[in-house]
Every structure is written in structure tokens, then in C-alpha cells.
Amino acid sequence: MRRLFVRLLPAFLFGLSLGLLLDGQVTTPASDFPLRTFFSVRSAQPDDTIPDILREQFEKDDGSPLRSVAVDLDGDGRNEKFVLCGVPRATGGYQWLVYDVARGVGRGIVVGTIIFIGQERDGGYPRLESYWKQGGEMSVVFRYAFAKSRYGRSGTWALTPWETSEFFRAKPALDFERELVEIK
């Protein structure tokens, strides 16, 4: 029995060390987030219809003009707005307030440079995914789900450059000249 253990120990240690070396190199499967559409910071247009009271929901705000991207999230024919704050969060990501124009309420803060709107829904609203580069070579992906009348973070991934390329390779081709176009 001892000889068997001695013979298997090197193979076990090799497998363990290989597993530690490859740790973190697993990407999200392509089918894990079916994509409906996307937009980025460059899609945000100046919007003076946003009530100033909503500024309180941002982590930081310098009072600069707000910009927004209008999207019908819940399928009721009326657009909600992703309101972009001019000041990034302390961690460096752009802050977007999901604003329900019809009800006059904020539906949560989403952080990212690129916002992906999914096909799957929670509570009548689509799941969201965001991407942003935190600094250095690290990128961050957040997932958001709608629950209890607001969006909340449901997943977080810090990506290496290799994982970032795999993340975008798993997405349909993103044409930044055609943001907010439905992806089939």
C-alpha cells in the first residue's frame, strides 16, 4: 500500500501544480449570457430632463451635465434611461443610473463602459452585463439581475488580458457604429 502511495504522489502533485497554474483561466461560456443589444459611454447624449434629485444615487457626482441612453427595458413601449454620471466611481468604472422615467424612480446603479442588455429576464426586466477596464491590465465584468424593484449585482469577474479576449470572442461581433441595434 505504501509503494502505491509513493508512486501516485508525484502524479498527484503534478496535477495539483498544473491546476494552480491554470487557476483563473476559465472563461464564461458563450451561451451563459444571450445578448439582445449593447451600448457604450459614447452613446450617451446630453439630457437636461433628468431630475437633479436623482444625483443623490450616484457614489460621486460633480454636478456636471448628465447624459443618458434611452432603452425600453420592460417592453411596455416606454423608454427607461441609463443616466451617465460625469464622475467615475472610486474603483474607476463609469456610473449609470437605471432611471424609470414613467414612474420617476431610480432602478439601481450599473457600473461599466460597455453595457450589454440580455435576452433573459428577471421580474420583467432583462439581465444586464457590464465591462470596464479597471487599470493596468485588469478588466472587470459585472452581471446584474432585477429583483425587488431594482437592479443588483449578481456576479463579478476580474479578467486577465487573455480572459478579456476570450470574453469578447464569445460575444457576437460588436459594431460600435450600430449600438442599440437588436442582435439576432
pTM: 0.80
Decide if 10 is inside a domain. no
What pLDDT is recorded for position 32?
78
DSSP, residue by residue, 37-67 = EEEEGGG-EE-TTS-GGGGGGSSS---PPPE
Q: Which amino acid does the sequence have at 97? A: L
**pLDDT above 70 (res 5):** no
Q: What percent of the chain shows pLDDT beyond 70?
A: 83
Residue 32: give the domain boundaries. Answer: 28-169
Indicate the number of domains in the chain: 1
**pLDDT above 90 (res 89):** no
Confidence of residue 86 (pLDDT cuts 50, 70, 90): confident
The whole-angstrom separation of Cα 123 and Cα 167 is 26
Distances (CA, A) of 159 to 23, 29, 155, 166: 12, 14, 13, 10
Decide if 181 is inside a domain. no
> Based on the number of CB atoms within 10 Å of its own CB, is 72 exposed (0-12), middle (13-18) or buried (19 or more)?
exposed
Decide if 23 is inside a domain. no
Decide if 5 is inside a domain. no
- The mean pLDDT value of the chain amounts to 84
Confidence of residue 45 (pLDDT cuts 50, 70, 90): very high
Q: Are 85 and 65 in contact (CB under 8 A)?
A: no
Which residues are registered as beta bridge partners of 88?
none
Decide if 53 is inside a domain. yes
Element (H or E) spanning 114, and its range?
strand 114-122
What pLDDT is recorded for position 22?
39
Decide if 92 is inside a domain. yes
Confidence of residue 180 (pLDDT cuts 50, 70, 90): confident
Decide if 21 is inside a domain. no
